[in-house]
Structure 1
Amino acid sequence: MFGKKTPTELLSREAPTLAGTLEVPEDQVHLEPILGIRPGVYLAGLFTLILLALLFFIFLFPGLTNPGSLLVLDSEPRGAAVRIDGITLGATPCEVFVSQGSRSVELTLPGFVSRKLDIDAPGRILGSRLFPHRIAIAETLAPTLPLEALFIGASEYAAWSFTGEPTAAYQIPRDLSEGAYRSGPAAADPLLREGMDEILKEAARYASTKAAQRDLLRALFLSGNGGLSPSPLTFTETASGILSYLSELEGAAPWLTETLSPESARSVEGSGWYREAVSFAAALSGKSPVSPVRPLGASLRLDSLSFREIPGGSFIQGTAFPRELTQGSFYIATTEIDSETWEHFLRASPRWGRENRKTLISEGLVSEGYLEEPIYPPYPKPGVPGISWYAAAACCQWLTTLLPPGLREWEVRLPTEAEWEYAAKLGAGDSALPRGTSLEIPQNMIGGLWEWCADYYAPLNYLPGGNTITSPERSLKGGSWINPPGSVGMETRASLAPATSSAFVSFRPVIAPLAAPKAVTQ
């Protein structure tokens, strides 16, 4: 119509053209022969060469370049360090590949005699890594001393007690229970078992965290079963022994309530055992803090230091769980170490002089603040600040050489915490002596300078124990002039690493019989 094409005619005419533009010829790849060799032949050869190369590098190459043997090592007890040719490569049980030839193998474990072996490690060319020549080595290590492994573990356990509860960032090793496992066979001897029990009781003084309590509990189970995990038959007996251990451990009731979860602590607090312990502590608090057998004794002078005899007696040691102790007689300096005596010591022992500070620091005996006076207001005289525990102990050894002939069986040393607190309370008038008794108390025991004590610092000092397990810090008493008034009392405890040389720390020596008995619980 009017010479125009209809849409149908337009589509029918354009369709062949559109269809032609959509048609794409198929792509084809054709491999050409190489040197007259058909593709199917040389591709098969190529794949075969690749497979042979893989087999060569898997089965032959390791044996050709580094032939050797696989050592399969184990020991009793386990955990021994494995040293191959003097290089530590693991701990038993483990597997270590060594190159072909003569090799020196050494198994070492603290508290045990090292075991050294010389072996000849053969090589294997075919499949040396997949199917190596295996050499099994299993050794039983003999203890140097029956309980040394437990003692070493207890000392490491004490050191970890200062880190607090473990977190996701770090975990605490189970040193105490590992030591109990390694020393477990010694439990068969009744005398050695008694020694193990004493070490574990003292270790409880460092069980101030839940992780430490779990390690202690595991150590008790292992020691009760000869270093082995308890069987169903021995579990009840071991559990009964642990309950007996807790019942005999003075101060165990408050210890558990301080470290257990709130729910478990409430269960302990509801027990008759706990109520009896609390009643006993309340009865002690009503007694006189100090009960000396007589008034203070004679005075004694060493160099420029004046000492006063402190008579023996009983006193209530102020802790989280008070306990009554019996203390022997001793002399205590009426002041902290003075500058005159200290300078005399330095002249007699020049290695401790200020000019040797760098050397002493490198030996781990002092720190940067050694013998430096504070830059703050004047500190109380006559104390000498900035003295490390090691330097204080060395000065006490020198003072011992000045003792008169009548005291040759005595020594000058740092006071124990019990001696320090006993003297401080006696000097403060908290005693059963008649009123008006002249005490001539030592000066500045509170608020002068913090004073070093002989004891290793144990967080739970109200639990019984000696001073044999080493810890990384030593005890301090007395506070310093920098502490706010009333913030530090005679029962306050603190601790520092023994090499620390602080401007707020000094010491006050005592004179006591050689190998003087410790204060004992009544």
Structure 2
Amino acid sequence: MALFLASGSLAADAGPIAGNPLIEIPAGPFVFGRDDGPENERPRRVLEGRAFAINRTEITNRQYGAFVAATGHRRAFYADHPLLGLADRPVVGVSWGDADAFCRHYGLALPSEQQYERAARGTEGNAFPWGTRSRGEARANIGAAVCCTGDDRDGYPMTAPAGSFNAGASLEGVLNLVGNVWEWTRDVYAPYIGASVAGGRHRVLRGGAWNSDARHLTTTYRLAYDPDFRFAANGGFRCVRSSP
């Protein structure tokens, strides 16, 4: 079933996760990486991307709870937290394996770094999902000026509801690709160009979170993280469906 979202967005499929449609990202060239940032974000390249679809928002506690009820999988670590565990907030306290199992249950997958960056940057390589201007309280759930503490300048001391900050939507209408919670990707952390990390096991998180400072809140920032760690109060995920 197809549906159409707010202006500036493309067609979406209701998808298998109740309340979290899949937004279609079309095939075509896009900018990946940058030459004027941290070493691990280099080099800047133009790649030819395949079409895919990505969840409009992060997976919520309500959606993760439905998965737990259906499968018997372990609960999120912060499921009972008075703020982080609210039904409409992004699920946090999940390992990479937990996130991967959720997506696979619904016939989906965690996004690759290239998919995440294309969804967040558009085709022109924007620094932020909404364009080139810096982030602000009206566009993303961000932290204090000094890493890594939260504040309530944007209205939320910790996570915000997954459907918040429509002013920060991407070109296609995807929300919170910067800020709110870090998001697992399926990729093992390694340099973009050159030798791979021998025995590398860390996975890549993208997007920054509610307690991130400006340095972490761009569409290109990469964070290597222990895939088994499930106690982060600022880490969640969303899923993708790749085209054949």
Q: Structure 1 residues 378, 338: CA separation in 2 closer, same or farther (over 3 Å shift)?
A: closer
Within the alignment, does 1:475 sit opposite 2:171 as a pair? no
Aligned equivalents of 1:314, 1:453: Cα separation in 2: 21
> Which residue pairs with 1:447 in the alignment?
179
* Contact 1:428 1:441 (C-alpha < 8 Å) held by counterparts: no
Percent pairwise identity: 30
2:201 and 2:80 mapped to 1: Cα distance? 25
Q: Supply the AA of the counterpart residue of 2:120.
A: A
**Which of 6, 16, 19 is equivalent to 1:302?**
16
Alignment partner, residue 121 of structure 2: 425
In structure 1, give the amino acid aligned to 2:178. Answer: I
2:78 equivalent among 339, 361, 372: 372
**Equivalence for 1:316:** 31
Distance 1:375 1:484 in 2: 24
Structure 2 residue runs of 5 or longer lacking an equivalent are 1-8, 34-40, 123-128, 133-169
* 1:371 counterpart letter in structure 2: F
Point out the structure with max Rg over C-alpha.
Answer: 1
Q: Which residue of 1 aligns with 2:160?
A: none
Residue 306 of structure 1 and its aligned partner are, at CA, apart by 1.3
> Do the aligned residues in 2 keep the contact of 1:323 with 1:462 (CA within 8 Å)?
no
- Structure 1 residue aligned with 2:151: none
1:26-425 paired onto structure 2 within 5 Å:
296-304=10-18, 305-318=20-33, 319-350=41-72, 352-354=73-75, 371-372=77-78, 381-400=88-107, 412-425=108-121
Structure ranking higher in helix proportion: 1
Q: Residues 395 and 323 (structure 1 numbering): CA distance in 2 closer, same or farther, change over 3 Å?
A: same
Q: Structure 1 unaligned segments of length 5 or more: list them.
A: 1-294, 355-369, 401-411, 431-437, 515-522
1:511 aligns with: 241
Change (3 A) 1:477 1:324: same
Amino acid at match of 2:179: G
> Where does residue 456 of structure 1 map in the other structure?
188
Normalized against structure 1, the TM-score is what? 0.32
Give the Cα separation in 2 of the matches to 1:416 and 1:447: 18
Residues 25, 172 of structure 2: 8 Å contact kept? no
Per-residue CA deviations over 1:426-450 (Å, capped at 9, x if unaligned) read 25357xxxxxxx9442111111111
Residue of structure 2 aligned with 1:489, choices 205, 215, 218: 218
| Deviation of 1:503 (Å) | 1.3
Decide whether aligned partners of structure 1 residues 300 and 463 sit closer, same or farther in structure 2, where only a CA change above 3 A counts: farther
- Contact 2:84-2:91 within 8 A present in 1 as well: no
How far apart are the structure 1 equivalents of 2:199 and 2:14? Answer: 33
TM-score, with structure 2 as normaliser: 0.66
